[in-house]
Amino acid sequence: MLAAANPTPLPGPKSRISELFEFRRRPLARLTELHRAYGDTVGFKLGQKQVVLLAGPEGVARVLVENHRNYEKQSLGYQKLRLALGEGLLTSDGDFWRRQRRIAQPAFHRDRLMNLGSHMTESTVKMLNEWDSAPSHVDVAKQMMTLTLDIIGRTMFSRPMSEFATDVGQVMDVALHYLDERMNSLTAPLSFVERLPLPSNRRFRAAMRDADQMMVNLIAERRGSAKDPGDLLSMLLDMKDEETGETMTDRQLRDEMMTMIAAGHETTANALTWTFYLLSQHPDAGERLRRELETQLAGRVPSVSDLPKLTFLTSVIKESMRLYPPAWIISRNAVEADPVVQIPKGAIVIVSPYVTHRSARHWMAPERFDPDRFSAERASSIPKHAYFPFGGGPRQCIGVGFAMMEAQLLLATIAQRYAFELEPGHKIELDPSITLRPKGGMPMKRIRLPSRELRSVG
C-alpha cells in the first residue's frame, strides 16, 4: 500500500516546549508576532496540540461561515466555560445547539429589543444622578460592569440586580476568575483537578450553588405568577420550538440565563470602557461626538428611534471594538481535515478579532483610532470578515442587536453629561482573560460638562 504523502507543513515557528508558557503569559502579543512573521495561516504547537491561527478574512469566513459544521466548540476554553454555563447557547454544539438557538432567537428580534431601550437609559440616568454627588475619581471599568449587569437584571428578569437576594456581580466575578484561571493553568487538561477539595474549587462551587438557587427561585416565582412582564425570562419560558412544540426544561433555562448574564454584561461593559478610554485620548473625537449629541438630542435622554441619526457615535463604538474587541479570541476544534485552509483533523483553530482587526495586511494604518472608517462612505471598503467583533455565521452573537443598542444608548446618555480623563501616570495594559479587560481597571476622572440636565421625553 502506498503511504499517504505528508501534507506541506504550515508556515510557523519550530516546535518548542516554551511556546505553551509564552502563549499563556502574553497571548495577544504572541498571536500578533506569529501573524506578522508567518502570514495569515500559522501552524504551531501548544504542548502536544496542533494549533492553527487563521488571521485573514478568507480563513475567518471558512471557519465561521462556509464550513462551520466542521468546527466544534470542544476546545479547552469552551470545556471550562461549561463548568459554569452548562449547555447554554454559547457552549453547546450540534443539533442541541440548533434547537436552543431556534427557540431563543425570537427573544432577540428587533421589535422586542425596541421595548428594552427605556430600561437601559433608566439604569444609566440613575447612575449619572448618583455620580453627580460622588467623588470624581472612578474606575470606569467597574462602573460599566455594574451598569450593564443592572441592565441585564432589568431586561431579563424585570428587576434591578441590586434587588436580588444573591449578589450576582460577586457570583459572576468568582466564576469568571475561576474559569479564567483553569483555562490558563498547566493542569487545565486534567479535569479531576476541579474535583479536588481546594479552596478555589470550593469557592467556585459555592458561587454556583448560589447562582442555581437564584435561578430556581426566579423560574418558580415566574411560573407561579399570573403576570407576564414580557421580559426575556418570560419569552424563554413561553418559547416553543416551531418544529417540535417543545419548551425548555428548568435545567436548560438555568443554563441559558447564566449564559446571558455571563455573555451579556462583561462584553458590553468592556466595549464601553475602551470607548471612554479612546475618547479621553482623542479629545477632537470627543468634541465631535458631543456636537452630534447636541444637534440630535439637545439634552434629551436618547430613545431607540434616535439611534439611526447618531452616525458618528456608532462609528466610535465600532472603531473601539476594532481596536479592543471584547471577545478577542474565538477557538474551535476541527472535526475533519479541511484542505481548503490547510487544517489538519483534530487541530485547534484560532480566529482572533484582535489580530485580524489590527493586521496591516487587511487595514490601512491599523493602530490609528479613526472612527470614520465606519462612515457610510468608507465602510464598504472594509473587506468582508476582516471585522468580526461579534463572530460570524450561524454562531454569530445572538445578542448583537441588544449589545449595539445598549452601547449606543449608554454612550449617548453618559457623554451628554460627563467626559473622562485617564488618571495621570496610569499605564494601560491589556488583560486578555475571557474578555479583553484593562488590567487594574480604568481609573479616570469624571468631568461634569456644563450642559443642561438630561430631560426624559414622554
Footprint of ligand HEM (CB under 6 A): 89-90, 101, 259-260, 263-264, 267-268, 271, 326-327, 330, 389-391, 395, 397-399, 402-403
**Rounded to the nearest whole angstrom, what is the least distance from the CB of residue 89 to ligand HEM in the complex?**
4
In three-state form (DSSP H/G/I as H, E/B as E, the rest C), the secondary structure along the chain is CCCCCCCCCCCCCCCCCHHHHHHHHCHHHHHHHHHHHHCCEEEEEECCEEEEEECCHHHHHHHHHHCHHHEECCCHHHHHHHHHHCCCCCCCCHHHHHHHHHHHHHHHCHHHHHCCHHHHHHHHHHHHHHHHCCCCEEEHHHHHHHHHHHHHHHHHHCCCHHHCCCCHHHHHHHHHHHHHHHHHCCCCCCHHHHHCCCHHHHHHHHHHHHHHHHHHHHHHHHHCCCCCCCCHHHHHHHCCCCCCCCCCCHHHHHHHHHHHHHHHHHHHHHHHHHHHHHHHHCHHHHHHHHHHHHHHHCCECCCHHHHHHCHHHHHHHHHHHHHCCCCCCEEEEECCCEHHHCECCCCEEEECHHHHHCCCCCCCCCCCCCHHHHCCCCHHHCCCCCCCCCCCHHHCCCCHHHHHHHHHHHHHHHHHHEEEEECCCCCCCEEECCCEEECCCCEEEEEECCCCCCECCC
- Please, which residue, 36 or 159, has the CB nearer to ligand HEM? 159
Residue 397 C-beta: closest distance to ligand HEM, Å: 3
CA 115 – CA 106 distance, rounded (Å):
14
Of 168 and 454, nearer to ligand HEM (C-beta) is 168
In the bound state with ligand HEM, the residue whose beta carbon lies nearer, of 161 and 454, is 161
Nearer to ligand HEM, 387 or 454 (CB): 387
In the complex, minimum distance from the CB of residue 150 to ligand HEM, in angstroms, rounded to a whole number: 13
Q: Which is nearer to ligand HEM, 82 or 300 (CB)?
A: 82
CB of 418 to ligand HEM, least distance (A): 21
Q: At closest approach, how far in Å is the CB of 263 from ligand HEM?
A: 4
Closest approach of ligand HEM to the CB of residue 82, in Å: 13
Residue nearest to ligand HEM (CB): 399
Q: Specify the residue, 153 or 264, whose C-beta has the smaller distance to ligand HEM.
A: 264
Q: Are 269 and 145 in contact (CB under 8 A)?
A: yes
Query: Least separation, in Å, of the C-beta of 445 and ligand HEM?
Result: 25
Shortest gap between Cβ of 295 and ligand HEM (angstroms)? Answer: 26
CA distance 353 to 244: 36
User: Are the C-beta atoms of 141 and 109 separated by less than 8 Å?
Assistant: no
Q: Which is nearer to ligand HEM, 267 or 342 (CB)?
A: 267
For residue 145, the minimal CB distance to ligand HEM (Å) is: 13
